[in-house]
Amino acid sequence: MDDIEKSRVAYVQQLEAKMAHLQSEYQRLKTVAEKFEPKITSKTAPENGKTVFGLQFGGRFTHVEVSDAWLLGMDETTAVTEISRALTDAIVYDEIKKAVQPDLVKMRRAAATRKGAGQW
């Protein structure tokens, strides 16, 4: 009976260690996941007739400003589409621009080298 009890205690300790590890992994990944959950803010400035929509995503923040006239003149689907597109385009464009820049510099150098090749 003593061996069974020792095995049971060891098994429970293993389970507790696994649970502690999984809980710490969950907390770590939860923080990362929350960073990539889009958060929208909106603010109206009645003094200038503008509304500002902001998007926080992936540790970045961008915003788009629209006039009250534009907001009232658009149907809801078009307004949501246009604002969403403007917000995501700003974030995606900035990241792609950073990725393209080094290759562009390298390719421009290569093109300049080819252009001068064969000329005396």
Could you read off the pLDDT of 39-92 as tens digits, one per residue?
A: 999 999 888 989 999 999 888 899 999 999 999 999 999 999 999 999 999 888
62: helix, coil or strand?
Answer: strand
Instruction: Work out the percent of the chain whose per-residue pLDDT is above 70.
Output: 95
> pLDDT value at position 34?
87
Q: Which of 20-24, 27-31, 44-48 ranks highest by mean pLDDT? A: 20-24
Please count the CA atoms within 13 angstroms of the CA of 6 that sit on its side-chain side.
3
Q: Which two tokens stand for residue 95?
A: 């990241």
